[in-house]
Amino acid sequence: MKKISIDPISRLEGHGRIDLFVKDDGELANAYLVIPEIRGFEKFAEGRPVEEMPRITSRICGVCPEAHHMAAAKACDAVYGVELPKTAKMIREMQYSAFYAGDHTTHFYALGAPDFVLGPDAPAAERNLIGVIKAVGVDIGKQVIQMRKWAHEVAQMMGGKPVHPVNAIPGGVSRRVTPEMQKRLIEIGEYAVEFAQFTLKIVDDVVLANKDYVNMIVGDDYTLRTYYMGLVDANNKVNFYDGKVRVVGPDGSEFVKYEAADYQKHIAEHVEPWSYLKFPFLKNVGWKGFVDGPESGVYQATPLSRLNASDGMATPLAQKHYERFYETLGGKPVHHTLATHWARCVELLYAGERLLELASHPDITGPEYRVVPTGTPTEGVGIVEAPRGTLTHHYKTDENGIVTKANLIVGTTNNYAPISMAIRGAARGLITKGSTIDEPTLNKIEMAFRSYDPCFGCATHSLPGEMPMIVRVRSAEDGSLIDEVRRD
């Protein structure tokens, strides 16, 4: 048996490696994603005042600091047993919606769109955002940049730093929204709605109008039938900031809906000897290995999962697209990994609409944007939907609010098992007896991986060198290197 490693030496946001185990006759035996673990967080957190956690945890990740900031702030609210005033909640959710608009924009245009606008077989050097802009026009590039900039402006406006937000504090937020700020927030919200609609039109024109792409999306190679997780509001509509965690089965029916504080009753973590990272699964179904279906506790937490786990979107335009999504792809739930890109764009529209809705609400400028916690701190769990999946922060403190124990389940970790399974599914369809593993083949395997927008660690590091990707073929028997392909 051969082992093929796709080794993306990442520069900016963590790195991972894909190992493909190929039998001597060329058939794919298995595929795993191997990623490094962030170590020492618990130790780092212990002994610190819990109110520091929203600021500290936001520094763990250079990709989604806002998600950590919000989950930590919610966990702090729970530690102190404080109920937020309506305005405080609205400000947090408004700000979080702006973050989503920026984050989903980046993923779609920089990572998702190149495979579809330029095609999965396009040369790697062209299959990027520059290629997309060349294909669709410089004006669109400028709009993408503006959407990101304006999303950052919301974070900055609310008193936080644009990179590491600091304004959510136990009991609320540190700064109110003035009428002048509201005016600008409405303007940004209006633009976000317009931009998202325009993005969904690109999905229509480029992806859905192309029969080959639609066939690829709904094909077996990119299909996984698992449980799906997402936060929902009181009406079972998608919510990024608050609500209950709802899990639906592979048949789409509700399996469980629980409060954040009960997460340990429902989620357990499986350990494999070849990875330091744990594999979360549904405790009440059980770990049955890297397999899908109703008997396996593997679940996904992605934009597609959130749509599957909900009964719809809470805003009108996004709801229309939600309905169209399921009508086009054959009803609920949708099991096609590549449809995650489209689901992400539906969420982009929801984020824009929600931002506008909250920014326009008269109560957003209300004076009660914080209550001072007075309860004795104990223990608390905060859950939000990070763009890459359900994010859980859990802290225990002593009576002085000093952290004694901390636990995080981050967005991508939820999807660790399904990503490996999705890669295996894609590779199985592409790597068969006698086939060559060329650049387009590798890219199609990576497409399964990319749709999850996985985030493996934290900000920077790793060599931005002459070897952005190495493919190693090794003998599984003795580990000897059989072949090496470098993608420069």
Partner 1 sequence: MAPGTTDTRRVVLGVGNSIMTDDAVGIITAQALEPLLAEHPNVEVRFSERGGFDLMDLLDGCDHAVIVDAYLVPGTPPGTVLSRRAEDFLGSHHLYAAHGIDLPTALRLGRELGGDMPERVDIIGVVVEDPYTVSEQMTPSVTGAVDEAVERVLALLEIDPSSHASMRAPRLEEPPCP
SS3 of 223-275: the string is ECCCEEEEEECCCCEECCCCCEEEEECCCCCEEEEECHHHHHHHEEEECCCCC
Query: Least separation, in Å, of the C-beta of 228 and partner 1?
Result: 23
Query: Least separation, in Å, of the C-beta of 427 and partner 1?
Result: 15
Query: Least separation, in Å, of the C-beta of 222 and partner 1?
Result: 17
Q: Is the bond into 418 cis (omega within 30 degrees of 0)? A: no
Query: Least separation, in Å, of the C-beta of 89 and partner 1?
Result: 27
Name the residues that contact partner 1, by CB under 8 A.
8-15, 36-41, 43-44, 47-49, 52, 56, 59-60, 62-63, 106-107, 110-111, 114, 124-130, 133, 138, 141-142, 145, 148-149, 163-164, 402, 446, 449-450, 453-466, 468-469, 487-488
What one-character-per-residue DSSP string does 167-191 give? -EETTEESSPPPHHHHHHHHHHHHH
Residue whose CB is less far from partner 1, 364 or 403: 403
Residue whose CB is less far from partner 1, 263 or 449: 449
Residue whose CB is less far from partner 1, 51 or 357: 51
Residue whose CB is less far from partner 1, 114 or 250: 114
Q: 10 Å Cβ neighbour count for 439?
A: 16
Task: With beta carbons less than 8 A apart as the criterion, state whether 415 and 389 touch.
Answer: yes
Query: Least separation, in Å, of the C-beta of 440 and partner 1?
Result: 13
d(CA 301, CA 418): 10
Residue whose CB is less far from partner 1, 59 or 270: 59
Task: With beta carbons less than 8 A apart as the criterion, state whether 327 and 365 touch.
Answer: no
Residue whose CB is less far from partner 1, 99 or 227: 99
What one-character-per-residue DSSP string does 391-423 give? EEEEEEE-TT-BEEEEEEE-HHHHTHHHHHHHH
Nearest to 261 by CA among 42, 77, 468: 77
Query: Least separation, in Å, of the C-beta of 404 and partner 1?
Result: 10
Residue whose CB is less far from partner 1, 91 or 169: 169
Bridge partners of 227, per DSSP, are 299
Q: Measured between alpha carbons, how far is residue 355 from residues 58, 152, 391, 446, 482 in Å? A: 21, 13, 21, 33, 54
Query: Least separation, in Å, of the C-beta of 365 and partner 1?
Result: 30
Query: Least separation, in Å, of the C-beta of 110 and partner 1?
Result: 5
> What's at 147, amino acid-wise?
M
Residue whose CB is less far from partner 1, 306 or 450: 450
